[in-house]
């Protein structure tokens, strides 16, 4: 028997919809919220900001709307977000970082993402290229896009999507058995079945319990899902991150289903061995991610471990020719409970550093397509490490795995030279609001640029509190804004020139004829 993704209306939600006056909404949109490890607190914006060109954003840690049982946001109105219904409020669902979010845009993006959920597959071709529509639309919505902007972006990117496929009720029901769940894992054709399954589970148990059971339980099934979550250029992690950040159970279900049909080989070959070598989870870290990156840059074995001709530069390159060396460095990135906030800033700063500084002195500045995924996914960890239902060990594990994939990604692209002066001397021609506007309006962007702009602006706010304590952090002050300018300037499409360079450490990547590889 075949069925479309479950259509049900029991409410196991991310939040109750509050009653908000216009004056309250204005106050919210001029308030900066900083995520604390233990609580949510707020300070109003002032002219004393370290970045006078930064628009007043909302930095929100929406961690408190949980029931006493730990289930996420069970409410009664039929207009609320569920496992099958996308519904955003500009008050409660504008994300960790937002600027000038509009109520009419919240309605529009809710309607369009509902259409995407109902009509499109998570992969837009047989090569498993990912549907980025939820990523793009949530990003530009958070950056102040109008309903017209949102509709235009959807119109540009829906034409090449694959249609949604029906699920098999028999298979969906069988997935409650652990062995059956595992039998279908890694198989792209079962995405509709996993989507329907996770929609059922979230409807029955709530997002918090589903995440704890299927990702963080520590049993064989959860370990497999954890490994798959970090596969596919961390797209499952990014998709899940958007669902968590914007309080959308349906997007959480998509992210989990997407993870389930990815391979878990990277976890088996890299993450789990590195964790074992580290002596487990949450050990006090002796070295920052930046220190480890700098050590790796001088390691000849790692530098020579990847070739331009390698089809998969992680699997066929680094982990084939220098697995022991890579694991040696990766295992040293550990995070104890009292280090979590500083290591979060360290991670965000380090990925922004190598993403922006991997340049060629004789070439126009470009940004690497693979590196931006490390920056774009960094924003979610401000919320992940503060989720009240998640145990401390799982939070630290997520942060450790994120740092380890960041190190692996850097080496896999040819260990490029990092020219920080190129970043520090780049002219600031536009402020953040202009950068956001250009990202929203870019005619060729499928969401990568908008995600990058938002993650960079968020990174500035996370890291500026540590600049005096950790002067060794390479990205500081207005360098964040300079990187934002680099991002929008370097992605202007001219002729055959693509938006991004791919595998920036190789000379071949900078040749015009190789630009689309």
What SS3 class is residue 66? strand
Say yes or no: 339 and 281 in one domain: yes
pLDDT the model gives residue 129: 82
Say yes or no: 333 and 443 in one domain: yes
Nearest to 505 by CA among 406, 359, 361, 364: 359
Alpha helix ranges (H) inside 390-447: 392-412, 420-424, 432-441
Across the range 80-93, mean pLDDT stands at: 97
Contact between 176 and 486 (Cβ < 8 Å) = no
Across the range 90-99, mean pLDDT stands at: 97
Say yes or no: 14 and 49 in one domain: yes
- 314: tokens are 């992680």
CB-CB neighbours of 294 under 10 Å: 15
Contact between 33 and 59 (Cβ < 8 Å) = yes
Quick one: residue 280, left, alpha or beta (phi over 0 = left, psi -120 to 50 = alpha)? left
Domain end point (choices 228, 263, 298): 263
Strand-pairing partners, residue 167, are: 3
Domain count, the chain: 2
Say yes or no: 243 and 359 in one domain: no
For residue 119, name the pLDDT band (cuts at 50, 70, 90): very high
Say yes or no: 130 and 249 in one domain: yes
Contact between 386 and 61 (Cβ < 8 Å) = yes
Residue for token digits 């960094």?
A: 378
Residue for token digits 């979230």?
A: 202
Say yes or no: 258 and 278 in one domain: no
Nearest to 423 by CA among 478, 364, 483: 483
Burial class (CB in 10 A: 0-12, 13-18, 19+), 20: middle
DSSP letter (8 states) at residue 513 = G
Q: Which of 7-11, 47-51, 63-67, 101-105 has the highest mean pLDDT?
A: 101-105
Say yes or no: 90 and 214 in one domain: yes
Q: What is the pTM of this model?
A: 0.86
**pLDDT tens, position by position, 161-199:** 999 999 999 999 999 999 999 999 999 999 999 999 999
Domain end point (choices 248, 263, 278): 263
pLDDT the model gives residue 198: 99
Say yes or no: 329 and 229 in one domain: no
Nearest to 255 by CA among 280, 238, 268: 238
Q: Could you list the residue range(s) of the whole structural domain that residue 197 is in?
A: 1-263
Q: Is residue 476's pLDDT more than 70?
A: yes
Cα radius of gyration (the chain):
22
For residue 39, name the pLDDT band (cuts at 50, 70, 90): very low
Query: Cβ neighbours of residue 49 under 8 Å, at least 6 residues apart?
Result: none
Say yes or no: 255 and 329 in one domain: no
Domain end point (choices 263, 278, 308): 263
Nearest to 87 by CA among 24, 191, 11: 11
pLDDT the model gives residue 28: 32
Q: Is residue 293's pLDDT more than 90?
A: yes
Say yes or no: 339 and 362 in one domain: yes
Distances (CA, A) of 357 to 295, 351, 369, 421, 426: 17, 10, 14, 8, 11
Rounded to the nearest integer, the mean pLDDT of the chain is: 87
Contact between 340 and 399 (Cβ < 8 Å) = yes
**Angle ∠(155,165,160) on CA atoms, nearest 5:** 25
CA distance 316 to 319: 7
Say yes or no: 147 and 282 in one domain: no
Contact between 222 and 393 (Cβ < 8 Å) = no
Higher pLDDT, 90 or 6: 90
Say yes or no: 251 and 354 in one domain: no
pLDDT above 90 as % of the chain: 79
**pLDDT tens, position by position, 62-80:** 333 333 233 344 343 447 9
């Amino acid at each position: 028997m075949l069925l479309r993704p479950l259509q049900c209306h029991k409410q196991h939600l991310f939040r109750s919809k509050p009653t908000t006056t216009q004056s309250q909404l204005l106050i919210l949109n001029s308030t900066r919220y900083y995520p604390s490890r233990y609580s949510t607190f707020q300070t109003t914006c002032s002219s004393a900001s370290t970045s006078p060109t930064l628009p007043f954003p909302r930095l929100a840690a929406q961690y408190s709307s949980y029931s006493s049982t730990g289930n996420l946001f069970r409410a009664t109105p039929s207009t609320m977000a569920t496992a099958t219904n996308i519904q955003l409020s500009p008050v409660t669902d504008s994300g960790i970082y937002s600027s000038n979010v509009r109520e009419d845009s919240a309605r529009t993006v809710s309607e369009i993402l509902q259409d995407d959920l109902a009509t499109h597959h998570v992969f837009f071709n047989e090569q498993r290229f990912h549907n980025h529509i939820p990523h793009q639309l949530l990003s530009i919505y958070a950056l102040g896009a109008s309903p017209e902007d949102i509709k235009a972006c959807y119109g540009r990117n829906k034409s090449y999507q694959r249609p949604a496929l029906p699920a098999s009720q028999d298979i969906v029901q069988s997935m409650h058995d652990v062995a059956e769940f595992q039998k279908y894992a890694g198989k792209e054709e079962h995405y509709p079945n996993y989507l329907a399954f996770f929609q059922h589970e979230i409807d029955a148990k709530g997002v918090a319990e589903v995440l704890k059971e299927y990702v963080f339980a520590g049993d064989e099934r959860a370990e497999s899902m954890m490994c798959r979550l970090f596969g596919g250029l961390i797209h499952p992690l990014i998709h899940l991150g958007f669902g968590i950040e914007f309080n959308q159970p349906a997007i959480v279900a998509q992210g989990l289903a997407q993870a389930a049909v990815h391979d878990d080989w990277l976890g088996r070959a890299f993450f789990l061995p590195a964790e074992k070598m580290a002596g487990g989870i949450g050990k006090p870290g002796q070295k920052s991610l930046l220190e480890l990156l700098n050590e790796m840059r001088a390691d000849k074995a790692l530098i020579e471990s990847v070739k331009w001709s390698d089809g998969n530069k992680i699997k066929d390159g680094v982990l084939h020719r220098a697995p022991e060396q890579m694991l040696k460095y990766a295992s040293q990135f550990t995070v104890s409970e009292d280090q979590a906030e500083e290591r979060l800033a360290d991670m965000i700063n380090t990925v922004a550093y190598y993403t922006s500084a991997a340049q060629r002195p004789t070439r126009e500045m470009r940004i690497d397509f693979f590196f931006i995924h490390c920056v774009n996914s960094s924003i979610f960890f401000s919320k992940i490490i503060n989720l009240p239902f998640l145990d401390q060990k799982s939070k630290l594990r997520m942060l450790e795995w994120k740092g380890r994939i960041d190190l692996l990604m850097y080496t896999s692209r040819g260990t490029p030279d990092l020219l920080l002066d190129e970043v520090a001397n780049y002219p600031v021609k536009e402020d953040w609001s202009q950068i956001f506007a250009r990202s929203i309006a870019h005619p060729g962007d499928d969401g990568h640029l908008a995600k990058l702009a938002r993650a960079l602006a968020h990174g500035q706010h996370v890291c500026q509190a540590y600049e005096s304590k950790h002067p060794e952090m390479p990205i500081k002050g207005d360098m964040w804004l300079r990187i934002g300018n680099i991002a929008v300037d370097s992605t202007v499409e001219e002729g055959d020139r693509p938006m991004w360079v791919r595998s920036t450490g190789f000379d071949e990547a900078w040749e015009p004829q190789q630009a689309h590889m």
